[in-house]
Amino acid sequence: MRYTFGQAKRSLARFADAYGLADVGEAINIAVDELANTANWQRMKRVVRMNAAGPYLALPQDCDTIVRAAIDGRPVSIKGTDYEFLQGGPGDLDYVPDGYAPLHGIHDLGYYASMFDPPEAMPVAAFSVSETDGKLRVRGRLDSGDTAGAEIAVNIWTDVGEMPDSPSVSAVSFASIDSVVLPTGAAAYISLYGYLDGEWHFLSRMHPGIQVPEFRRYRIPGFSDEDDKTYRVLAEVRARFLPMVDDRDTVPFDSLLPVQYMLQSMRAASIGEKRDAEEFRVMAERGLVVRENTQNERQGFVVINTQYSGSPGEASETEYDNI
């Protein structure tokens, strides 16, 4: 059974005094975030479809990492951030070696402050559907390589996606974005755009409950701009927990007991009861493991035979196209 944020606050209010947090919702968000990062839970996985029209692929803020992927129907491998630095590796993939096969895999580039960097040095502007007190702070690098910061007011969309007549933009032109800090008390998503020569360039869309956003980026090695092609990407991603704000937001797990145990663990840790804190944490994780084992129990027989056509483990011809 799934629960809303409002139901969780009413049910867990008496357990939410950990860390001296007076706000029940804030305590529950911390507990769920801790619980979400204790294991790669099935409830925290999603299957998404994306289109890549360039060599770089950015995940939305609610997605953390790609677990598995297929491009244009073919499964590909996921290369880690150290791939370019292996002794026998490909080297700098910004300069793909001759003969390096396109779609060989997806290369993890790590975390960035925005989904995309500006295509060239340009001022930036922020937009939202609701009025926001305070200013958004951006820090990044200039064309010269020096770092600079700017504070900009959050503009209000004339209509969603429709720019106002005279939006507020930064006085500084950023070539790359190093960090973004959202104003406190933002009530709706904030979008960041670059502006140059009358054209707007989308940079990122940021959740109001996370003051310092970050995004995971990937590269598709072998991608050629001359192809003028859009690749279809099917990916299983590990979802990132975003703070619940509205009472109608849903708790990612289907039971409140593990959240209660994590709150009790936090409370015990805050008063120095380390043994009790660890026991409650184990209870929280164990409760989710039992539920996952039950929900993932296979129905019927599964036979894996790589030599038998039609078997779930069949060795396909497309597998060898990516070697």
Calculate the alpha carbon distances from 147 to 92, 114, 179 in Å: 25, 16, 11
* 186 CA to centre of own chain: 19
User: How far is the C-alpha of 187 from the C-alpha of 183, rounded, in Å?
Assistant: 10
pLDDT, tens digit, 9 for 90 and up, residues 250-293: 999 999 999 999 999 998 998 899 999 999 999 999 999 999 88
> Could you give the strand order of the β-sheet that contains 63-71, starting from the edge strand earlier in sequence?
45-52, 231-239, 63-71, 74-79, 105-112, 215-219, 56-58
* DSSP per position, 132-183: -SSEEEEEEE-TTS-EEEEEEEEEEPSBTTB--SS----SS-BSEEEEEEPP
Tell me which of 202 and 97 has the higher pLDDT: 202
Q: Residue 155: what pLDDT?
A: 92
Q: Sheet harboring 176-181: ordered strands across? A: 176-181, 135-141, 147-156, 124-128, 190-196, 199-206
Cα of 285 vs its chain's centroid, Å:
22
Instruction: Give one DSSP letter per residue of 27-84, joined into a string.
Output: HHHHHHHHHHTSS--GGGEEEEEEEESSSEEE--TTEEEEEEEEETTEEEEEE-TTGG
Q: Which residues lie closer than 8 Å to 256 by C-beta, 6 or more apart?
A: 3, 7, 8, 11, 12
Higher pLDDT, 13 or 221: 13
Tell me the per-residue pLDDT of 284-319, one tens digit each, with 9 for 90 and over: 999 999 998 888 776 555 656 656 555 555 655 555
CB atoms within 10 A of CB 163: 15
Give tens-digit pLDDT for 37-83: 998 898 999 999 999 887 888 999 999 999 999 988 888 889 898 98
Residues 6+ apart with CB under 8 A from 67: 40, 45, 78, 235, 236, 237, 238
